[in-house]
Structure formats: structure tokens, C-alpha cells
Structure 1
Amino acid sequence: MKKLSRVLSPLLIAFLVLGSLPVAAAPQAAPANSLVTTQDALSADQVSADRERINEMLSRQDVQDQLVAQGVDPADVEARVAALSDAEVRQMAEQLDDLPAGASVVGALVFIFVLLLVTDLLGLTNVFPFTR
């Protein structure tokens, strides 16, 4: 028993001393420990509301019919809208706001078609086969 306590006592003391030492935390990336401003929070809420409004507009049956008539798969459009940056969502929502009330959906569809065409030409998507 005495032999066991001679072996365990130094080990326990070492563990207690090492366990009580302060440990320096690894430095975090700047965005992880920076504060979120009120403007950033409001902007994020606005972007999510704009994205939701765009998705609601695209889920309408007449819009879906026009997309199919233009030869665009509605699933591809949904994927592209999901991949839009915050600035692009804001710009698209502003252009939807600029459309006259009661206007046909053709203007919005032309905008979406041009947006998809530009992203296809830039090589970001593969929606239209005639851009290759």
C-alpha cells in the first residue's frame, strides 16, 4: 500500500498542478469575435425578406408557366435564386419594386432570363445550351 501511494502521490500532484494552470485560447478569426451591428442585423433581415418575396413570386403558377414557355426549368431558377449574393437579391428586389403595379410578369421573367443568361455566359451556371 505504501509503495502504491509513493507512485500515485507524485502523479496526482502533477495532474493537479497541470490542471490548474491557465490555458491560452487559440485566436479566433476576426468575424467570429466581432460585434454585429444593428445595421447588419436589419440588413440581414431585409435580405431574407427580399429573398422570400422573390421565391413567392417565382412560385406563382403563371410565372412557372412563362418560365417553361421560355425553356427554363423552374428548379434551375430556384437554385440560381438560392445562390444569389445579398447584393444581387437586393438589386432584384428593387427592380421588382420598380415594376408598375398590375404589370405583366413578362418584365420579371425577362429580368430572370437575362440574369440567367449573364451567369451562363460567365460560366457560373449551365442552364442554356446555346451559350457554349
Structure 2
Amino acid sequence: MTDRKNALAQSNALAAMTPLDRFNALALRPLVPGERRNNHDGSYSTEILMTDQSPDGGVMNYPSLWKRGDQYVELPPEEALKNMILLERMFGVRLPRYGSVDAAVNIAKQTSANGGGSIGRFFTNRLSQKP
């Protein structure tokens, strides 16, 4: 009976959370603004973008650098894309799609030149607008 009560309490707690709170509470998620991984060469990464065909059409940029608990992990391309599509469906937020790989890569380069962190910022901005 205790397991049922715990499950119900967890379910009620999740239902009371905002979409942004649920996103931030995920066990595995893209980095959000303010988070960064320190690299061995003294630099840091706010995200590492990959570019690929989206399963639903178009070309998309998605992160391979994710956060699991307090650890930063680089996911293989297939796993990163699968998790990104899952997050899109889970939260009803769709990342931009581009008409070509060149267009998507150019956006990724601009994002990097502007400090990176675009995917986490995109999600947190969209989810903070949802009730």
C-alpha cells in the first residue's frame, strides 16, 4: 500500500508542477541557460549541436551534450536525436526545421558565435509561456 501512496503522491506533485518545472526535473535533459561543462583544455561548452534529418521532415539542430543529474554527458547522435524528438512530443514544443543541411549548419555556427545554449533557452522560453 505504501508504494501506491508514494506513486500517487509523486503523480500529484508532477501534476502540480509547471511545464518548465517538469522539464528542469527530468533525469536527462539539454543544458539550460547558466549551465556549462568545463572542458579539459580550459574552455567550456554550453551545448554541442548536431545537425541531421528530422524523422518528420526537414533538417534540425539538436544537442548531443545533455545533463543527467549533476553530470554532463555526450550522447551518441542516434540517442541524442531520439531524446530530442521525445522531448518535443512530451512538451509540445517543436524545434525549428530547416530546408537544407547548409542552412541548419549556418544557424548552428551563428548560435555558437553568440555563446551557444540555444536549445535549452528555446525550451525554457517556450515552456515558461505555457500554463
Same fold (TM over 0.5): no
TM-score (norm 2): 0.29
Higher fraction of helix: 1
Please tell me whether Structure 1 or Structure 2 has the larger radius of gyration of its CA atoms.
1
TM-score (norm 1): 0.29
Higher fraction of strand: 2
